[in-house]
Amino acid sequence: MQGWSVAQLLEMDPYEFEKLLAQLFRNMGYLVEETQLSRDRGIDLIIRIDHFGLSHTWIVQAKRYKDPVGVKAIREYSSLRQRDRVDGVIIVTTSHFTKEAQEEAAEHNVKLIDGNLLAEMLNHYLPPGNIGNQSVEIPDENDRKLESSTVLRVGEEIIARETVSLEKERFTMVISNKNIFFKKETSGLLSKKESVELRILLKDMVGIHVEKQHLFLIEGRKDLTVYPLSGKSKDRIAEILENLRPEYIRGEHLILSSRKSSSMTILTNKRLVELEIGGSIKNEILLSNIVEMEVEGGFLKRDRLMISESSTGMNKHYLEVHDIHRWKEEIEQNVRVN
């Protein structure tokens, strides 16, 4: 099997490239902290090594570039050493550094790893194939499938690959035992390429809402997000995700869901949420704040569930869903354990 090359590294998207670097430094013996997207303050990775009480901490900045990295980038990132009180800064690129950049780096304890050196390091510490229980895939220049261009995590395996429509756009949905990827194909002058447009961690999945024509993925971290899918393979995807349910049911998980036009009501084991599909949350009630429920209705009136919530005061919410008595029973049951 061929080794890593600069051309193959350039086929990755920036997120995949950062993940690969994190795995590389771990194999080199470093403790690696992967910073969160949009909150990284200009930092991609923080690596530490500790031997007999002697600790060293470095900031790593990833540059998946074709053009050379100049002195401006060196000056920008060298200041991070003082700001974050670390031992030094490492800049990794798939291209090379200008002579002026190398001179500037030498003056500020900035270590440089260019594309050729990076390929050598990867071939030494992360050769293709399996290393222990780590599965590392290398992009093949003749094969642009996700299975060969996405960096797989420890113990990660691809389960299925299906074509779907998400919000009227066509994607290839790839399901592994750790992630759900949505890849979009773009055509260039001489070739076609797939890039990851959306990634959902399986551990962040809350559940799925299935209808005759559509499948809705429900993801939950701080806020719940609903992704509407359609396509011929909808039932197969639903079956696969249902089989993976034990992987994510340990955290927040779906109890009931009901859709009305573009709105959806969701009950999890933690909260009750009303939201616009693909939009913002209209109402959210923590189950621990619910103090009273009552089904209201009557002659010529549609039944609705009145929920009293105590948070910053006593608030009343009115819920219209299918099978309202079942909703009341399930909410009561989950309120008792919160």
What pLDDT shows up at residue 152?
64
What percent of the chain has pLDDT above 70? 84
Quickly state the pLDDT bin for 26 (edges 50, 70, 90): confident
> Which one-letter amino acid corresponds to residue 250?
R
Position 44 scores a pLDDT of 80
Residue 192: predicted pLDDT: 58
Of 271 and 16, the one with more pLDDT? 271
CATH class of the structural domain 253-338: mainly beta
Question: What CATH fold (topology level) applies to the domain 6-141?
Answer: Trna Endonuclease; Chain: A, domain 1 (3.40.1350)
Q: So what's the pLDDT on residue 300?
A: 66
Q: Where are the domains of the chain?
A: 6-141, 157-251, 253-338
* Mean model confidence pLDDT for the chain: 83
The mean per-residue pLDDT over the stretch 308-332 comes to 90
Which overall architecture, per CATH, does domain 157-251 show?
Roll (2.30)
pLDDT for the residue 87: 85
Q: Which residues contact 7 (CB under 8 A, 6 or more apart)?
A: 141
Task: Please state whether the predicted TM-score (pTM) of the whole model is above 0.85.
Answer: no
Contact between 135 and 155 (Cβ < 8 Å) = yes
Percent of the chain with pLDDT over 90: 42
pLDDT tens figures, 140-175? 433 334 444 556 666 778 888 899 999 889 999 999
Model pLDDT for residues 120-130, shown as the tens digit of each residue: 999 888 876 53
Q: What is the mean pLDDT of residues 226-241?
A: 92
Chain segment 279-304, per-residue pLDDT in tens: 889 999 999 999 999 998 766 678 89
- How large is the average pLDDT for residues 7-21? 85
Top-confidence residue, 314 or 141: 314
Same fold yes or no, 157-251 and 253-338: yes
Asked which of 97-106, 125-134, 238-247, 267-276 is least confident by mean pLDDT, the reply is 125-134
Note the pLDDT of residue 330.
Answer: 95
pLDDT of residue 226: 95
